[in-house]
Amino acid sequence: MSEIEDILVRLRARLQERDVKLWEEPYYVESGGVVIESALEQLSQELSPEMHISASICKSALLQLQETALRKLAARRQFNETGLATFHVRCVDSHGGTANRFEVKCALDELGANLQLNIADQLQLSEAAHVKCISAGRVLAPQETLQSQGLKNNQQLLVIVGQDDGKGEALYERIRQIQRDVEMVVDSEHRFVELEDQDGNVIMLPPSENRALLLGMGLYEKGRAAMRREHFDEALLLFLDADEKFSGCNSRFLEAVDNYGLLNLDIVWCYLCLKNITQLPDAQRRLDLCERNFQRSYGDNYSRLYALKGANCPERALIMRLQLLQGVILFHQNRRDEAFQRLQLAGNSLSQLKVDADQLALLIEMGFDVADARLALRSSNGNVEQAVQSIQERRQRLQATRLNSNSESEMHRRLTQLQLGNDERDWVHPRSVCRLMELGFERQLVVEALRRTDNNLERSEELLRSHSDELRRNLPAAVAADEQMLYTLHELGFKLPTARAALETTRNDMDRAVDFLLKSLPNEHELNNMIELMNQLTAPTDGTASASTSSPLTAITPSKLTLIQSILSKANTELESYNAYKRFHEDLPENEQDYLNLTLEQEEQILNEYKRLLEH
């Protein structure tokens, strides 16, 4: 924030205290459109000693505030007379610089796409869809009216435009690809991603809530990757998309996890890095939400966190960033004393969290990851031996936890594959299945009991002990695999035992049996082999389809050809899900605690900037 911006914030507040209206007499005559210089000169002489600035600077700032007020009044009159709303647009580059400032007009009953088109015309862009408008913490929806999205006359808009990067790939297209990849990864039944708590325990929820959270977290992780590259425009768009996915989840789990609080913290961090103080009300709301989330997770005044992990725990870096952002918001609200106190807290924490560069380099030379090294040094208050021990103990603990959760994860995968429909009423909790099976109950009976009791563990156990015969009588009758279907699948390259299991599980539904078989292939190599085989079977020979002697099949009838084409299509879709996962994973950190690995360099720079403004 520049000194002139600081002066404008303070001067605006001082004028409000005095109830001074620069757009009225004696400072401005509306009938003639005349600025009264002498009145402004006198006002600047009065205010400059209070503001601790020269009278000339004070007058210049008064003129700037007056001009802004007059523009808004003119826009208000035009809106009342014509219905055309005025929007004040600030277009930013990826690192927060202002690329363009201008006004654009559009009726509130028009679609968001029309506003995008008007902005694109101003910027001389050919693709209006590449224009992303952000207002009050939401990306403007093209197919909804401006009024329905809460936009008002004289509103400030942050605009992000997809510019070509060095590879010629536009930001807009990159975001679209990330969205497609995340959806494909989440919807894949290969279980590429799973929800885990901080200790590595798998968290499993009903399907729709699981999907909403995974989509939100997938987009959030890609946003974090963009933020690490300091591409704050891309990060903000992905964060707001993730926020939309999270908001569609009704699970109480959402309010109890750190991720949602951290998402809101990172959104405000992007606002700051993009120098977007126009989103001040949304920033305040998000920081309040983040603080409530932290209090739930870490205890009042973070007492539970500090009791468990010590006062120098890595999570304190997030608390410090929250305090810093709260101080910045208070500063822009001209609550300077409160801002100073909050920035002092952030400064104290930052000084305690700093890591000695030589100690960090020593741990890296010992083969430790930079994130592990920094976090361990913070936790051990700079003691290298304790830091090494901390890293090793954490790795052992994480490995043990994941080994213990393997049986539950495998059960979850099996139940996902065996589920015969998408009805959430059929969903059963894998952890409950494991616990009841450990008591000696059969899996099929356990699943049936949990479905009947809506996953109530105690009632299910009672049902299994008291009514096991009735449960058994109501189990679906076993279905033998159709021999002809089995023979056909074997001809097409599937192993007999797996093909038989697929047909029995799907009750001889060939289409779903093929899905089962393709999702059962152990890796990408096997999937490519299947695609190659299907292509060979359908490859023309001497200008005709491989319908006879050249094929390993006895004959390719029209129905078999249709089946082969279906297998090929499904296999290609499965392969694309592997490729989507590769793209999704390529810039994500290996260290699951990387989100705590803040270097604090940017934080220190911002802290010093705002403390200097306060002291000045």
Mean pLDDT of 389-413: 68
- Averaging pLDDT over each range in 107-121, 182-196, 211-225, 288-302, which range is the top one? 107-121
Mean pLDDT of 180-198: 70
Q: What pLDDT score was predicted for residue 48?
A: 93
Domain region containing 547? 483-585
Q: How far apart are CA 336 and CA 609, in angstroms?
A: 14
CB atoms under 10 Å from CB of 577, counted, come to 20
Q: Which of 316, 319, 346, 317 is nearest to 330 (CA)?
A: 346
Q: How far apart are CA 520 and CA 414, in angstroms?
A: 10
Query: Same structural domain for residues 458 and 503?
Result: no
Q: DSSP labels for 235-269?
A: HHHHHHHHHHHHHT---THHHHSHHHHHHHHHHHH
Q: How far apart are CA 193 and CA 187, in angstroms?
A: 10
pLDDT tens for residues 200-215?
555 666 667 778 888 8
Q: How far apart are CA 580 and CA 388, in angstroms?
A: 37
Query: Same structural domain for residues 495 and 454?
Result: no
Q: Is residue 16 part of a domain?
A: yes
Query: Is there a contact between 537 and 546 (Cβ–Cβ < 8 Å)?
Result: yes
Residue 119 has pLDDT above 80, yes or no: yes
Q: DSSP labels for 83-150?
A: -EEEEEEEEE-TTS-EEEEEEEEEETTSBHHHHHHHHHHHHT-S-GGGEEEEETTEEPPTTSBTGGGT
Q: Is residue 337 part of a domain?
A: no
Q: What pLDDT score was predicted for residue 107?
A: 96
- The residue among 54, 81, 108 that closes a domain is 81
Q: Which of 418, 411, 520, 434 is nearest to 476 (CA)?
A: 418
- Averaging pLDDT over each range in 143-147, 229-233, 537-541, which range is the top one? 143-147
Query: Same structural domain for residues 457 and 505?
Result: no
The backbone torsions φ and ψ at residue 198, rounded to the nearest 5 degrees and listed phi first, read -65, -20
Confidence of residue 94 (pLDDT cuts 50, 70, 90): low
Q: Is residue 387 part of a domain?
A: no
| Torsion-angle region of 266 (φ positive above 0: left; ψ -120 to 50: alpha; else: beta) | alpha
Write b or e for each residue in 237-273: b if 16 or more Cβ atoms lie within 10 A of its Cβ, otherwise e. Answer: bbbbbbbebbeebebeebeebbbbbbbbbbbbbbbbb
Query: Is there a contact between 490 and 496 (Cβ–Cβ < 8 Å)?
Result: yes
CATH number (domain holding residue 451): 1.10.8
Confidence of residue 419 (pLDDT cuts 50, 70, 90): very low
Q: What pLDDT score was predicted for residue 97?
A: 65
Query: Same structural domain for residues 559 and 504?
Result: yes
CA 172 to chain centre: 17
Give every CB contact of residue 49 below 8 A, 6+ residues apart in sequence: none
Confidence of residue 362 (pLDDT cuts 50, 70, 90): very high
The backbone torsions φ and ψ at residue 133, rounded to the nearest 5 degrees and listed phi first, read -100, 130
Give every CB contact of residue 114 below 8 A, 6+ residues apart in sequence: 106
Query: Same structural domain for residues 433 and 518?
Result: no
* Count of the separate structural domains present in the chain: 3
Query: Same structural domain for residues 468 and 496?
Result: no
Q: What is the mean pLDDT of the chain?
A: 84
Confidence of residue 421 (pLDDT cuts 50, 70, 90): very low
Residue 445 has pLDDT above 80, yes or no: yes
Global pTM value: 0.79
* Amino acid of residue 293: N
Q: What pLDDT score was predicted for residue 196?
A: 60
pLDDT tens for residues 314-343?
889 999 999 999 999 999 888 999 999 999
User: Strand 84-92's sheet: what is its strand order?
Assistant: 98-107, 84-92, 155-161, 131-135, 138-139
Q: Which of 292, 188, 182, 276 is nearest to 233 (CA)?
A: 276
Query: Same structural domain for residues 469 and 492?
Result: no
Indicate the burial class of 315 (C-beta count within 10 angstroms; 0-12, 13-18, 19 or more).
buried
- Strand-pair category, 195-196 with 202-203: antiparallel
Q: What pLDDT score was predicted for residue 430?
A: 60
- The residue among 63, 81, 99 that closes a domain is 81
End-to-end Cα, the chain, rounded Å: 13
Q: Which of 228, 198, 195, 188 is nearest to 210 (CA)?
A: 195
Q: Is residue 182 part of a domain?
A: no
Mean pLDDT of 259-281: 88
Query: Is there a contact between 502 and 513 (Cβ–Cβ < 8 Å)?
Result: yes
For the ranges 412-426, 578-592, 594-608, which has the lowest average pLDDT?
412-426
pLDDT tens for residues 35-93?
999 999 999 999 999 888 999 999 999 999 999 999 999 999 999 999 999 999 998 87
Q: Is residue 193 part of a domain?
A: no
What residues does 132 pair with on adjacent strands? 160
Q: What pLDDT score was predicted for residue 404?
A: 60
Query: Same structural domain for residues 462 and 534?
Result: no
- Strand-pair category, 84-92 with 155-161: parallel
Give every CB contact of residue 330 below 8 A, 6+ residues apart in sequence: 336, 338, 339, 342
Query: Same structural domain for residues 431 and 492?
Result: no
Q: Is the peptide bond prior to 26 cis by the omega test (within 30 degrees of 0)?
A: yes
Q: What pLDDT score was predicted for residue 199?
A: 56
Q: What pLDDT score was predicted for residue 95?
A: 61
Query: Same structural domain for residues 468 and 488?
Result: no
Query: Same structural domain for residues 436 and 507?
Result: no
Count of residues for the chain? Answer: 616
Q: How far apart are CA 29 and CA 66, in angstroms?
A: 12
Q: DSSP labels for 277-295?
A: GGGHHHHHHHHHHHHHHHH
User: What is the percentage of the chain residues whose pLDDT exceeds 70?
Assistant: 85
For the ranges 163-167, 193-197, 424-428, 577-581, which has the lowest average pLDDT?
163-167
Q: What pLDDT score was predicted for residue 167?
A: 36
Q: How far is CA 234 from CA 169, 228, 336, in A?
A: 13, 11, 32
Mean pLDDT of 417-436: 57
Check residues 434 and 95 and name the one with the higher pLDDT. Answer: 434
pLDDT tens for residues 143-186?
999 999 999 999 999 999 866 443 335 788 899 999 999 998 88
Q: What pLDDT score was predicted for residue 69?
A: 94
Mean pLDDT of 383-411: 73
Q: What pLDDT score was predicted for residue 40?
A: 94
Q: How far apart are CA 497 and CA 410, in angstroms?
A: 20
Q: What pLDDT score was predicted for residue 488?
A: 92
Q: Is residue 527 part of a domain?
A: yes
For the ranges 77-86, 186-195, 493-502, 525-534, which has the lowest average pLDDT?
186-195
Query: Same structural domain for residues 437 and 492?
Result: no
Q: Is residue 127 part of a domain?
A: no
Q: Is residue 174 part of a domain?
A: no
Confidence of residue 499 (pLDDT cuts 50, 70, 90): confident
Give every CB contact of residue 41 below 8 A, 6+ residues apart in sequence: 55, 59
- The residue among 81, 98, 118 that closes a domain is 81
What residues does 145 pair with on adjacent strands? 111
Give every CB contact of residue 219 below 8 A, 6+ residues apart in sequence: 178, 179, 182, 238, 239, 241, 242, 245
